[in-house]
């Protein structure tokens, strides 16, 4: 997996985390499911900048997907991935909420 990822924590508490994530060209995220110790995990991803080529988000099941820009899903239940970024960068604002 070439390309760099910069993950900046904007806010973090026991139940809510907010991240600003930058993915550079060459990066991809292989299919996976996020593990949680207990409870339910919800993620709301807001794609701020889409790459010029590649970098498409894929999830087995979304709760909500608005034009591939605002996506609400359960990463603890459904496999998700991002295809290889061929050109450009991907910027993401991600909200992670853990519920009991």
Burial 57-83 (b: 16+ CB within 10 A, else e): bebeeeeeeeeeeebebbbeeeebebe
pTM: 0.91
The chain-wide mean pLDDT, for the chain, equals: 95
CA 87, CA 67: separation in Å to the nearest integer? 20
What is the residue range of 94's domain? 5-99
User: What pLDDT score was predicted for residue 1?
Assistant: 52
User: What pLDDT score was predicted for residue 4?
Assistant: 83
Which CATH number is 16's domain given?
A: 2.60.120.10
**Tens-place pLDDT, residues 63-81:** 999 999 999 999 999 999 9
Q: How many domains does the chain have?
A: 1
């Amino acid at each position: 997996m070439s390309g760099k990822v910069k993950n900046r924590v904007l806010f973090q508490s026991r139940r809510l985390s907010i991240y600003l994530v930058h993915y550079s060209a060459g990066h991809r995220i292989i299919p996976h499911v996020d593990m949680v110790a207990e409870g339910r995990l919800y993620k709301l991803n807001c794609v701020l900048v889409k790459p010029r080529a590649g970098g498409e988000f894929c999830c087995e099941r979304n709760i909500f997907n608005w034009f591939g820009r605002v996506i609400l899903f359960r990463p603890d239940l459904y496999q998700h991935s991002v295809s290889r970024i061929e050109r450009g960068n991907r910027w993401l604002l991600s909200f992670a909420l853990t519920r009991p």
